[in-house]
Amino acid sequence: MKTLVDTNHRNSFKIFTRSTVTTVLFLVAFTVNTYGQAPEGSGVVVPPSTENHHFDWTTESDIETLLSLQRNLSFAKRVDQQPVLFSWPMDGLPQSEHVMHNYVDLSGEGAILDYSGGTHTYDGHSGTDLSIRNFREMDQGVPVYAAADGVVSLSRSEFNDRNTEWAPDLGPQWNGVAIFHNDSTVSRYLHFRKHSTVVETDEFVEAGDLLGYVGSSGFSTNPHLHMDVIMIDEQENLRFRDPWEGPENSEPGMWQSQLSYLGNEHLTVYDTGIATRASMGGEIQFIWADFLERLPEPETMGMNEPELVFWINAQVIPGDPYRVQILKPDGTVYGQGSGSFSSKTRFGYWYFLWNFDGFVSENDHGEWRARIFGADSEGDLNVVLAEKTFTVGAETSWAPRFQPAGKSIRINGNVQQDELVMNEFTGDVTFQLVNAPDFVSLDGNVVEFQGESTQPLRSSYFEVVATDENGLTDTFYYHVVDPSKPRSATSVQFTEEIGNTGGEISDEESGLTVVIPDGALVEETEIEVGRFNVIPDGANTFGEMVFLGPSGLTFNQPVSITLPYDPARLPAGSDADELLLLRYDLAAEEWFALESNVNTSNQTVTATTTAFSGFVAGQMLGVSTEPVESDRPESVSLDQNYPNPFNPSTAISYTLPQASEVRLEVFNLLGQRVALLVNETRQSGQHTVNFDAGNLSSGIYIYRLQADGFTQTRKMLLVK
């Protein structure tokens, strides 16, 4: 094996960086003390600059929005104009689950100033930008939520969602939502994924309701959410409003809990990767769009690869020092170097390049590590900010990779076909639908959607898994939107009052029969019957739910409830004998299974209860049979794993406010699922799952919780 030690060689480590709206190019040179070939320089393709490109969002670019707002002015005048306070519109916090990319520009044309007097923005920017790392993450689905209650005044989803070039002419072509609030403000959520918008014009939404998924539509140059606020004053003039309160913005803040200023955060690494010449298009070239697609990464990097490229995605402050290091399986250093950054970058890419072929032998096969270090409190470069593991072997091999790896489909009355596409490095694969609904079918690599769906809610999800001959997999994520369906399971409409205390109550439309014993009620009470518009979570049901009220009504003797069922409408694979009467407790927001008797001759299900809420006949799928606890958690939450970093196992905890279908998965940074930890109904309360990563390589992994419409991801670091 040929080796080289050159302590005096000057080496160019290329740094390629670009924010949504600005381009900065760095060329950093520093001395490398290395075993193996020293880094070599290469050309850099500079994307078009967007600095100093002011774009007036209040004129032609959003005329549809403004017209819609004007139509809703009468709404603003009818309500109590209390100031709106916003909750956070995305899961997790900036600089972890997503990136605080830009604040509002307060200084106008020709200067840059945000609410804290810093430069974490660009000229003419009117909102707050929250970026995600790449299109692979976008394909998995990153939800956007309403930040406050209001009425949807504009909803769009038909435009392209993978833009990577600054093009002001595309300004009007953004997917997203505008929401009119009761204080005459409007919040806008821009750049959604195509077809992912799940709210319609004139619908009322509450804070926390799902609006759509992050994309890169319109003039966006990377996948991110742009959220801004438009004020309508008493003279019906419109202006943008900075929701952040600080030294340079004296107006009151508009957040329920304003986060700390992140414009001065020092070197923060969001993502890392290993690239080859092939994965970069056949030569060492740095194209913005390729990095946003997240460069393909070999399953095994062959020892004959010409170069080894280690890249990072990060925010930096001028003067931030760093050290990079490449370690062989035996712990010896193959390459290392240090330096500092010369300019501020909010969201950039850097690469570090070493020659490889001819400097690696069979003795070096195994798991390698690439690390980047930052400064500790003493200024020493000993803090591991990120670590990437990769395998080196005789020949380069690749795992399956979808390109793209997910999208939203909008049901429109016509049969739609979508072709699954793999990247150029993928060999022969087989495809399999996972949890797909009955209106979806697969023929080879073509997924077909019927013109009408059977999904109960407006949004549903399923996956397609590609498996190659070596058993390696990649997952495609489908989000299906059916605008004709209700958004949630919380809407109850009372239809009529049909009785009061005592005796038997029946409802011809639903077939419901209620028998209330004498003395069960202390005083006369009107009993109401209504319809629930969707099936409950956690139960395989059919038909409309019957609601009895008032909510919270209790009896001092058991009341008999009887509901009919239609055998022809039973869910596939269901047995009528397994049907249960389910009661929904509004206060606890949970379903409870009652001891039920099925009469197959009369086709009815009967049970007794001492409380009224909602009832539906269904097959029990993990529905709670336990009493309601008073110390219920208020919301779904996902905790940081402990310990972190870990080796080889760690505990992941999450909390549920009600019984929910839970899906807890672990992914590598390529978006490939490496573990499915939970995929079943779990009861309310705190749950802890142990994750054993003994068969995985060191590196950063993403774990994601999905439960009851809630999605959150966190990062964890495996260090062996």
Task: Check which CATH number belongs to the domain holding 373 and give it.
Answer: 2.60.40.2550
pLDDT of res. 256: 92
Q: Using H for helix, E for strand and C for coil, what is the string for 225-294?
A: EEEEEEEECCCCCEEEECCCCECCECCCCCECCCCCCCCCCCCEEEEEEEECCHHHCCCCCCCHHHHHCC
Strand ordering across the sheet containing 473-481: 406-410, 473-481, 459-468, 429-434
Q: Looking at the domain assignment, is residue 217 inside a domain?
A: yes
Residues 364 and 310 in one domain: yes
pLDDT over threshold 50, residue 436: yes
Evaluate the CA torsion angle 293, 130, 112, 123 in order and state its sign.
positive
Token pair for 502: 């005592």
In the block, tokens 């997503």 appear at 98
3-state secondary structure of 569: helix
Residues 600 and 707 in one domain: no
Alpha helices in 458-606 (DSSP H): none
567: exposed, middle or buried (Cβ count in 10 Å: 0-12, 13-18, 19+): exposed
Q: Which of 469, 500, 519 is the last residue of a domain?
A: 469
* Phi, psi torsion values for 120, nearest 5 degrees: -85, 55
How many domains does one find in the chain? Answer: 5
* Phi, psi torsion values for 229, nearest 5 degrees: -125, 130
Q: Which candidate, 15, 699, 634, places its Cα nearest to that of 345? A: 15
Q: Which candidate, 437, 471, 470, places its Cα nearest to that of 454? A: 437
pLDDT of res. 524: 65
Note the Cα 17 to chain centre separation in Å. Answer: 24
Mean pLDDT (the chain, rounded):
77
Token pair for 668: 């590598």
Domain CATH number, residue 643: 2.60.40.3080
Are 359 and 321 in contact by the 8 Å Cβ rule? The answer is: no
Token pair for 660: 């929910």
Evaluate the CA torsion angle 160, 162, 168, 174 in order and state its sign.
positive
Residues 443 and 582 in one domain: no
Q: How many angstroms separate the CA atoms of 101 and 542, rounded? A: 46
What is the per-residue pLDDT across 3-16, written as a single tens digit (0 to 9) for each?
A: 222 222 222 334 44
Q: Which of 338, 365, 393 is the last residue of a domain?
A: 393
Q: Looking at the domain assignment, is residue 251 inside a domain?
A: no
Residues 302 and 450 in one domain: no
What is the per-residue pLDDT across 644-682, written as a single tens digit (0 to 9) for each?
A: 888 888 989 888 877 778 889 888 766 677 888 988 777
Kindly report the pTM of this predicted structure: 0.68
Q: Looking at the domain assignment, is residue 632 inside a domain?
A: no
Q: Looking at the domain assignment, is residue 5 inside a domain?
A: no
Residues 92 and 203 in one domain: yes
- What is the span of the domain harbouring residue 456? 411-469
Q: Which of 33-42, 257-266, 375-384, 510-519 has the lowest mean pLDDT?
A: 33-42
What distances in angstroms separate CA 659 from CA 542, 565, 574, one per listed residue? 19, 25, 21
pLDDT of res. 33: 22
The count of residues in the chain is: 720
Q: Which residue has the higher pLDDT, 104 or 22?
A: 104
In the block, tokens 């595309």 appear at 170
Evaluate the CA torsion angle 335, 340, 342, 344 in order and state its sign.
positive
Q: How many angstroms separate the CA atoms of 446 and 698, rounded? A: 36
Alpha helices in 28-91 (DSSP H): 63-71, 73-78
Residues 163 and 281 in one domain: no
Q: What percent of the chain has pLDDT over 90?
A: 40
Are 29 and 2 in contact by the 8 Å Cβ rule? The answer is: no
Residues 298 and 187 in one domain: no
Q: How many angstroms separate the CA atoms of 72 and 668, rounded? A: 46
Pairing of strands 301-302, 383-393: parallel
In the block, tokens 């077809």 appear at 195
Are 19 and 13 in contact by the 8 Å Cβ rule? The answer is: no
State the pLDDT confidence band at 448, using cuts at 50, 70 and 90. very high
DSSP string, 129-193: EEE-S-HHHHHH--EEE-SS-EEEEEEE--S--B--S--GGGTT---EEEEE-TTSEEEEEE-BP
Are 559 and 515 in contact by the 8 Å Cβ rule? The answer is: yes
State the pLDDT confidence band at 171, using cuts at 50, 70 and 90. low
State the pLDDT confidence band at 579, using cuts at 50, 70 and 90. confident
Evaluate the CA torsion angle 160, 163, 165, 171 in order and state its sign.
positive
Token pair for 458: 């407006």
**Range of 293-307, 543-557, 579-593, 624-638 with top mean pLDDT:** 293-307
Angle at 663 between CA 661 and CA 668, to 5 degrees: 170
Q: Which residue has the higher pLDDT, 317 or 3?
A: 317
Residue spans of beta strands (DSSP E) within 276-382: 301-302, 307-316, 321-327, 333-340, 345-355, 366-374
pLDDT over threshold 70, residue 686: yes
Instruction: Give the HSE-up count for residue 25: Cα atoms under 13 Å, Cβ half-sphere.
Output: 11
What distances in angstroms separate CA 403 from CA 193, 375, 477, 665, one per listed residue? 15, 37, 12, 21
pLDDT of res. 488: 66
Domain CATH number, residue 83: 2.70.70.10
Q: Return the amino acid letter for 498.
A: I
Mean pLDDT of 681-702: 82
Query: 467: alpha, beta or left, given left = phi > 0 and alpha = psi -120 to 50?
Result: beta
Residues 114 and 211 in one domain: yes
The CB density around residue 508, as the number of other CB atoms within 10 Å, is 7
Q: Looking at the domain assignment, is residue 244 inside a domain?
A: no
Evaluate the CA torsion angle 547, 550, 551, 555 in order and state its sign.
negative
Q: How many angstroms separate the CA atoms of 682 and 694, rounded? A: 26
Return all residues near 333 (Cβ < 8 A) that are at least 6 apart: 34, 35, 325, 326, 327
Q: Looking at the domain assignment, is residue 546 inside a domain?
A: yes
Q: Which of 586, 620, 654 is the last residue of a domain?
A: 620
Residues 693 and 570 in one domain: no
Q: Return the amino acid letter for 668.
A: N
Residues 212 and 270 in one domain: no
pLDDT over threshold 70, residue 617: no
Domain CATH number, residue 547: 2.60.220.30
pLDDT over threshold 90, residue 246: yes
Q: Which residue has the higher pLDDT, 157 or 543?
A: 157
3-state secondary structure of 578: helix
Q: Looking at the domain assignment, is residue 291 inside a domain?
A: yes
Q: Looking at the domain assignment, is residue 114 inside a domain?
A: yes
Mean pLDDT of 577-594: 66
Helix (H) / strand (E) element for 710: namely strand 710-718
Residues 276 and 158 in one domain: no
Residues 87 and 213 in one domain: yes
pLDDT over threshold 90, residue 175: yes
